[in-house]
Amino acid sequence: MAKLHITTTINGDATEFLCEPEQTLLDVLRDELQLTGSKEGCASGDCGACSVMLDGRLVCACLVLGAEAAGRTVETIEGVARGEELHLVQRKFLEHHALQCGVCTPGFIVAAKALLERDTDPSETEVRYWLAGNLCRCTGYDKIVRAVLDAAAEMRGEEAGA
């Protein structure tokens, strides 16, 4: 069967790709478009390593068919930094040592950025619940939560907090 020809927008760029009907958006990003920042952890929507924004909503790319992206806008981890300039959330992850192996990190960054775009003053509990769909098996989460809270504080114009 012929592949599907999909036209979409990825990280602000008009993008076309060919995919099989059963290929997920994650498969397309990684295997067809070489955007390998989004990771496959569980392939069942539990771990959040493939978190992307689809029409402004945080979703797991493993639970979206590539064909569904037609006419939509997709934002991935590759679109978070501006060239060499890291996004605030990325910088805070480095400052707080909020990663060890790094496989979960792109998903956490995309998810945390989505939270801070909605709310620049989340409580620690709100951060933990928002990120409950992102699993990290290295850090124990604490440094990740500190990094996100510190990024929020900086967005609000406050001094870097505890």
45 touches another protein by CB under 8 A: yes
Structure tokens at 82: 């501006």
Listed ranges 7-15, 45-53, 95-103, 153-161: which one lies at the site for another protein (CB under 8 A) = 45-53
Closest of 42, 107, 53 to residue 75, by C-alpha = 53
Q: Which of 10, 62, 99, 145 binds another protein (CB under 8 A)?
A: 62
Q: Which of 58, 98, 99, 104 binds another protein (CB under 8 A)?
A: 58
Map residue 69 onto helix, strand or coil.
helix
SS3 content of the chain, % helix, strand, coil (to 5): 40, 20, 45
List the x/- string, 101-140, binding to another protein by CB under 8 A. ----------x--xx-------------xxxxxx------
> Are 104 and 57 contacting, i.e. CB atoms less than 8 angstroms apart?
no
Taking the C-alpha atoms of residue 55 and residue 9, their distance in angstroms, rounded to an integer, is 10
Residues of this chain that bind another protein (CB under 8 A): 1, 4, 21-22, 24, 43-46, 48, 51, 54, 57-60, 62-65, 67-68, 70, 111, 114-115, 129-134
